[in-house]
Amino acid sequence: MSTLRRGQELQRLARACLEARGYQVELVRRAVQWIKKADGQLKPVSISRDLFGIWDAVVVGPRWRGFAQVTDETNFHARRAKILAAAFPVGPQDL
């Protein structure tokens, strides 16, 4: 399974888990960006940009609302470090 497909599957699982607990979830959407190739032709490429460069989703529920970063256990520490380095206002409940 490609990295992209694996990430999409993790996002689907996280969304389903949160929605089952009563949260509304909006995931970052993919968009087409046109890249110029060496021969001058344009090529469409599907990309995804995290919200504020670090978040994969906005989560809203009865007791909590905020942002979510979806990752697996092998990338957890790197993603957490990225969030902290971004100086985005987060509290203990966010991490």
pLDDT digits (tens, 9 = 90+) for 37-51: 999 999 998 887 888
Tell me the DSSP string of 69-82.
Answer: ----TTTHHHHHHH
Give the per-residue pLDDT at 93: 65
77: Cβ contacts below 8 Å, ≥ 6 apart: none
What pTM value is reported for the model?
Answer: 0.70
Query: Cα-Cα-Cα-Cα dihedral of 82, 83, 85, 90, to 10°?
Result: -170
35 DSSP 8-state letter: E
Beta bridge pairs of residue 47 = 31
More confident residue, 92 or 77: 77
- The predicted model gives 55-83 an average pLDDT of 88
pLDDT higher than 70, residue 95: no
